[in-house]
Each structure stands twice: as C-alpha cells, then as structure tokens.
Amino acid sequence: MIFREAQVADITQIQVLRNAVKENTLSDPALVPDKDVEDYLCNRGRGWVCEGDDQIVGFAIVSIADTNVWALFIYPGYEKKGIGQRLHNLMMDWYFSKTEATVWLSTAAGTRAEKFYRKAGWTETGTHGKGEIKFEMTVEAWHRVLLKRNF
C-alpha cells in the first residue's frame, strides 16, 4: 500500500470510491461535484490517498478553512486493514501542524465510522445536519492520542 498526498488527477478515482461505499452513502452523487473536491484539495485543506492493487482504495480530506474533516472513506473490501487509521493519522498530523483550532466531523449513528472515531479519540459534542453525530478533536486531545500511539 502506498500512502501519499492526494492530487487533482486523483479526483476521478476518489469519486468512484466515494460512490462505492456501503455506509454514509450520498443520496445524489451530483451533490459533490469534482470542482468541490478540487477546492478542498487545493484551497480549503489537503487530502491523502492510499493506493493498492493499481487503484485508490482509501482517501481522507480535511479543511482548515472549515475546521472540518470533509471525508474519510475506504473502498469496500479494504476495510479493517489499517488504511483508515493511517489516513486519519496523516490527516490529523497535518491539520494540527497548521492550526490549533478544534476540528469537527459528523457521521451517522450506528455505523462503523462512529465506532472508528470514538476509538480514535474523538469526543461526541452533539448532533449535526439530519441527526448525525457531531464529533470534535482538540489539539490537546490529539496530543494525548499521539502519546498513546508512540508507546
């Protein structure tokens, strides 16, 4: 597996992956056009991908402009291989190297994503949107995660 910063040339494969997931699916793929993905990769924040078997099998995007994790998705069949955790850590390390602002995300209740974020040290702070769980991560909480990770 190769982990690297996402490029504009990756957007087509990122979109294929995003629309292949089984949880947190988009009701309408047109809601996230390529230009929005490019904006998040180039202007609002950064993204990372994991390549395996000649395709992108995972990606993560965080926005400093919105203090928000915009996306973290793994292609079906590649879950539970540590890809999500590695992408998450790359994303969070970069985010907190650029700002100390608390970052947030939301995800549907009862999903693997909910369990993943709880295990990764995120704190539930309420709801967002259409009843999704809102999580936050402070720089102090991230430093505690790093201490645990390094022991």
Question: pTM above 0.85?
Answer: yes
* pLDDT of 151: 56
pLDDT in tens, 5-54: 999 999 999 988 887 777 666 666 677 788 999 999 999 999 999 999 88
* pLDDT of 32: 78
Residue 10 near residue 55, CB atoms below 8 Å: no
User: Any residues with CB less than 8 A from the CB of 137 and at least 6 apart, and which?
Assistant: 92, 102, 103, 104, 121, 122, 123
* pLDDT of 33: 81
* pLDDT of 23: 67
User: Any residues with CB less than 8 A from the CB of 99 and at least 6 apart, and which?
Assistant: 64, 67
* pLDDT of 115: 94
- Report the DSSP pairing between strands 55-63 and 123-128: unpaired
* pLDDT of 25: 60
Q: How many CA atoms lie within 13 A of 92 on its CB side?
A: 26
User: Any residues with CB less than 8 A from the CB of 111 and at least 6 apart, and which?
Assistant: 23, 24
pLDDT in tens, 93-149: 999 999 999 999 999 899 989 999 999 999 999 999 888 999 999 999 998 888 877
User: In the chain, what are the domain boundaries?
Assistant: 2-149
Sign of CA dihedral 26, 6, 75, 89: negative
pLDDT in tens, 82-102: 999 999 999 999 999 999 999
CATH topology for the 2-149 domain = Aminopeptidase (3.40.630)
